[in-house]
Amino acid sequence: MKITKRRLVRIIKEVRGEMKVDRMRDAILNTLEERPGIMSAELVGIVGQSHRDIPTDDIYNFLDDLEENGEVIFDIETEGWSLR
């Protein structure tokens, strides 16, 4: 089977996207393990410093996804994030 240049570029973009998600997940979960109850801006700042190629908006959106999936909890009263 012959792979076109367009298909190869698409595959590379998919792999990079998956790697970005894995890096964000690891950074967020590791930070929450070390600092439960951390506030959003501080958490996003820590992850952003470690992974400067990931836009801040992507990190916030990914946090929302993790919360929807039940992996993390956001406490409205303390405005802090924790592991489930």
What are the tens digits of pLDDT across the range 40-65? 999 999 999 988 888 999 999 999 99
State the residue range of the domain holding 75.
19-83
Mean pLDDT over residues 22-27, rounded? 90
Percent of the chain residues topping a pLDDT of 90: 61
Domain annotation covers residue 32: yes
Domain annotation covers residue 3: no
Which residues on neighbouring strands pair with residue 81, listed in sequence order? Answer: 38, 74
* DSSP 8-state symbol, 51: -
Domain annotation covers residue 2: no
For position 48, which CATH number holds?
1.10.10.10
Instruction: Answer whether residue 10 shows pLDDT above 90.
Output: no
In the chain, the number of structural domains is: 1
Domain annotation covers residue 62: yes
Rg (CA), the chain: 15
The rounded distance, in Å, linking the Cα atoms of 35 and 81 is 9
Domain annotation covers residue 7: no
Lookup: tokens for 10: 């698409």
